[in-house]
Chain A
Amino acid sequence: GAVVSQHPSRVICKSGTSVKIECRSLDFQATTMFWYRQFPKQSLMLMATSNEGSKATYEQGVEKDKFLINHASLTLSTLTVTSAHPEDSSFYICSAIPRNQPQHFGDGTRLSIL
């Protein structure tokens, strides 16, 4: 079946560091990918829709300059959390849509900012 690979699975870094998370569709092309954030005991919140070859679409309240999204190819989208602070600590999950299938999720990245 369709596989979405996300890397790294866990990041621990100091406040002020920028962190890049990769999301790859391994056996299908994805013109659209999604980035979610999930805080403990809360549901997934959509942050932005990543569009191949064009600008990402951000949800209301999500700072585009804080969360940089690049979707340079049909199989790769990256999310960069710039100048991360402790309040950015969360579980970040990407997803993609294989042809004629529902969204498939990556394994997620647990980000901890000290």
Chain B
Amino acid sequence: QKEVEQNSGPLSVPEGAIASLNCTYSDRGSQSFFWYRQYSGKSPELIMSIYSNGDKEDGRFTAQLNKASQYVSLLIRDSQPSDSATYLCAVNQGWGGATNKLIFGTGTLLAVQP
């Protein structure tokens, strides 16, 4: 059973702080990794994608990938109350996106306190 695991939270951080969201995956052959944000009652929206080891930055968001440790994380700098949502980690099952099937973690609920 290929799995993606996240701490369900809630992760509570004060406004302006750095929020750190973590995800581990079991399929060593996974190639593509994604972070989606999902507000309550809404569908997921893509925040970041990362395909190679290291860091990838986009505005206040930084994704970090370590394939050897099978670990991917998302850092949110200068957290805002509007960042409060569930963050879903998703992993592309298989090599090279051949199937394009995504396996989702259960999500981490982030609460940014004003």
Give Cα A45 to B103, complex, Å: 8
Rounded to whole Å, the gap between the CB of A13 and the closest CB of chain B is 19
Rounded to whole Å, the gap between the CB of B55 and the closest CB of chain A is 18
Q: B25 in the interface, Cβ–Cβ < 8 Å?
A: no
Q: Across the interface, do A102 and B43 meet the contact criterion of CB distance under 8 Å?
A: no
Q: B102 in the interface, Cβ–Cβ < 8 Å?
A: yes
Q: Across the interface, do A44 and B101 meet the contact criterion of CB distance under 8 Å?
A: no
Q: Across the interface, do B100 and A32 meet the contact criterion of CB distance under 8 Å?
A: yes
Q: Across the interface, do A44 and B88 meet the contact criterion of CB distance under 8 Å?
A: yes
**Total contacting residues, chain B, CB less than 8 A:** 19
Given contacts A102-B46, A105-B43, A108-B43, contact A49 B106 (CB under 8 A): no
- Convert A38-66 into 0s and 1s, putting 1 for each residue whose CB lies closer than 8 angstroms to a CB of B: 00001111100100000000000000000
Of all chain B residues, the one with the shortest Cβ separation from A107 is: B43
A residues less than 8 Å from B49 (CB atoms): 102
Rounded to whole Å, the gap between the CB of B113 and the closest CB of chain A is 21
Give Cα A42 to B106, complex, Å: 6
Residues of B within 8 A of A (CB): 32, 34, 36, 41-46, 49, 88, 100-107
3 closest Cβ pairs, A-B complex: A108-B43, A105-B43, A43-B106
Q: Given A44-B88, A97-B100, 11 more contacts at CB 8 Å?
A: A34-B102, A43-B104, A43-B105, A44-B104, A46-B103, A49-B101, A93-B44, A102-B32, A103-B46, A105-B36, A107-B42
